[in-house]
Amino acid sequence: MRTRVISLAVLSCGLLGVLASNPARAEIGASGTRLSVSGAAPRFYMTYGHAQEPELYAPIVDELRRLQVTFQRRGEDYLVYFRGVKIGDWPIVRKREELPETGEDPCVLVLGGQVFVPVRKLEEMKLVRVRVDKATNFVSIAPGTPKVVSGVTAQQPTAPGAPDDGSLIALTGVEVNQNGGVMQIRIRSSAPIRPTMLRLKNPPRLVLDFGDARWQDGVQVPDGGVQVKKLRLGHPIPTTARLALDLDSDLVNLTGLKVTNGEVLATVGQGQQVARANISPDTASQIIKAIQQRNSGRRMGDRSLPPLPIDVTNLRPDVEPPSVDPGTGLRVRPAGSLAGKLIAVDAGHGGHDSGAHGLNHYEKDLCLKMCLELKAALEARGASVLLTRSSDSYVSLDERCRLANSSNANLFISIHCNSTPRRNSASGSQTYWRTPQSMRLARAMHSRLVGAVGGKNGGIRNRSFCVIRETNMPSVLLEIAYINNSQDEQLLASPGFHGNLADSLAQGVLDYYGVDIAE
């Protein structure tokens, strides 16, 4: 999934008049983005990406000096400094389509002699604070709140926009105990909570996300050790607290995860990765009660709600059990099991927006082929399908959301291909969700996606992409595989794969509705 760099022409009074009459929009328009750094007078910049999403890049290296953030070129990298202290070493990317899609791995885009830096990554590092006025396409960048004391970073982690009504669990401390090649990390909390885990590569990282929680102000981050180079705290969204561990190597895993009433104990070292948390029935019961209390009175589909803090599928069923054939004992799928369901299927990019590309194919073409197959597979199971595009045409992000919302679709599924700064540097599949109502759909679709592709499991991630943020129904964005990975591209282009993928994703929808097909 890729957006594009917008060229900024000479601004005139006529252009400003067009801007004033143009309402809110998700995509950056031909005028560029109006941006102010550290209180300076706003001006228009040529930018890359979407102001509300992880991939916003802006040519503001000179302006960031006012915030004591500096960039120094060294070979094919940029060294990043804050107040004279080196905080990063980011590679240079010279093609727009090779930028990391989600902003996970920071880099610097160099195009036409201009240097574009990842604004959202700087915000994640608390070097800057970013505010977006979508209606006027205006971005304000102010000083952040980092503090460095004797080599220990004292975070100010309370996420902007987090509710202050006691509904979030407070994570009150982090302690580290190093015992040879094993590190134990103890996370203390004000109430029972269980994290979800995400494994990232290039560089190797473990991420523990605590839903319905926030880091208490003033929590200090301990130093790393033998297996974990660095620990970082943050909030990927206002209602989720994150602990990220930068690992020494790919051989290091989360080998233990124990949950008790007031703390989580994570063990990190070389060994088999733990599949799920060790949690006592008493603690499980308390967690379920906490969920029920926090969810009381909430409306399904309310996007202001935080996500559930745990995967409760091991504690109680999410859905009613499917019917069982008394003759065979097999769980069965009723005929026309998706009858009455309208599913919006969104093929990424299109028209002049080609998306990412491999050696022989464009993302827009492969996405459309996969979506047409998915449409047929869903219709064969009784569903009605709305395609946001059925040909090589350009449809704006706003229009895709409007089509799905106005049709009152039950689900929204967006199909994309991933790409990386360096060819053949990554492979695998990822699933993205944004609103709390979409979590269960993401889980159902992701397991089927990974099974169909057969590659690396890139995890389920929460990101603020427009088409899963602005749609009213449960929505997911699927990154099927990496188009700039030679093997992945060959798979993505295979007609046989398209049919297998469509059947698997259709089964994911059946899983979501709690219906199984007899084997």
Amino acid at 356: A
Question: Could you say which of 219, 253, 276 is where a domain stops?
Answer: 276
Asked if residue 179 and residue 130 are part of one domain, the reply reads no
Instruction: Please give the structure tokens belonging to residue 170.
Output: 């407070």
Under 8 Å between Cβ of 207 and 241: no
Asked if residue 487 and residue 350 are part of one domain, the reply reads yes
Asked if residue 267 and residue 194 are part of one domain, the reply reads yes
Q: What is the pLDDT of residues 79-103, one digit of tens each?
A: 888 888 888 888 888 877 666 665 5
In the chain, % helix, strand, coil (3-state, to 5) comes to 25, 35, 45
Edge-to-edge strand ranges of the sheet holding 263-270 = 213-215, 169-179, 182-189, 263-270, 252-259, 278-279
Q: Is the pLDDT of residue 177 over 60?
A: yes
408 within domain boundaries: yes
Alpha carbon distances (Å) from 350 to 2, 14, 363, 387, 396: 11, 30, 9, 13, 9
Asked if residue 195 and residue 119 are part of one domain, the reply reads no
Q: Which of the pair, 515 or 124, is modelled with greater confidence?
A: 124
Asked if residue 203 and residue 115 are part of one domain, the reply reads no
Listed in sequence order, the residues at least 6 apart from 104 whose beta carbon sits closer than 8 Å to its beta carbon are 54, 200
How would residue 29 be classed by pLDDT, with cut points 50, 70 and 90? very low
Q: What is the pLDDT of residues 42-75, one digit of tens each?
A: 888 888 776 666 678 889 999 998 888 999 998 8
Asked if residue 178 and residue 124 are part of one domain, the reply reads no
Q: Is the pLDDT of residue 329 over 80?
A: no
Q: What is the pLDDT of residues 214-223, one digit of tens each?
A: 888 878 888 8
pLDDT of residue 444: 92
Under 8 Å between Cβ of 210 and 171: yes
pLDDT of residue 20: 32
Asked if residue 204 and residue 73 are part of one domain, the reply reads no
If you search the block for the tokens 């929505």, which residue do you land on?
A: 475
308 within domain boundaries: no
The b-or-e profile of 4-34 (16+ CB within 10 A means b, else e) is: bbbeeeeeeeeeeeeeeeeeeebbbeebbbb
1 within domain boundaries: no
* 307 SS3 class: coil
Q: At what angle do helices 363-380 and 495-512 cross, to 10 degrees?
A: 50
What's the whole-number mean pLDDT along residues 389-396? 93
Task: Give catalytic status of residue 97 as yes or no.
Answer: no
182: left (phi > 0), else alpha (psi -120 to 50), else beta?
beta
Asked if residue 369 and residue 256 are part of one domain, the reply reads no
327 within domain boundaries: no
What's the whole-number mean pLDDT along residues 355-366? 91
Edge-to-edge strand ranges of the sheet holding 128-133 = 43-45, 33-37, 138-143, 128-133
CATH of the domain at 448: 3.40.630.40
pLDDT of residue 369: 96
For 321-325, 378-382, 506-510, which range has the lowest pLDDT when averaged over its residues?
A: 321-325
Asked if residue 126 and residue 227 are part of one domain, the reply reads no
415 within domain boundaries: yes
Instruction: Please give the structure tokens belonging to residue 507.
Output: 């089964």
pLDDT of residue 40: 82
Question: Could you say which of 276, 293, 316 is where a domain stops?
Answer: 276
Listed in sequence order, the residues at least 6 apart from 319 whose beta carbon sits closer than 8 Å to its beta carbon are 513, 514
311 within domain boundaries: no
Above pLDDT 90, what percent of the chain? Answer: 28
120 within domain boundaries: yes
Question: Could you say which of 276, 293, 318 is where a domain stops?
Answer: 276
DSSP string, 358-396: -SS-BHHHHHHHHHHHHHHHHHHTT-EEEES-SSS----
293 within domain boundaries: no
Asked if residue 221 and residue 105 are part of one domain, the reply reads no
Asked if residue 62 and residue 204 are part of one domain, the reply reads no
Asked if residue 478 and residue 383 are part of one domain, the reply reads yes
Which one of 53, 97, 479, 489 is the catalytic residue? 479
Residue-range definition of the domain harbouring residue 202: 155-160+168-276
When divided into structural domains, the chain yields a total of: 3
Q: What is the pLDDT of residues 404-444, one digit of tens each?
A: 999 999 999 999 999 876 678 788 899 999 888 999 999 99
Q: What is the pLDDT of residues 463-482, one digit of tens each?
A: 878 899 999 999 999 999 99
Residue 288 buriedness (CB in 10 A; 0-12 / 13-18 / 19+) = middle
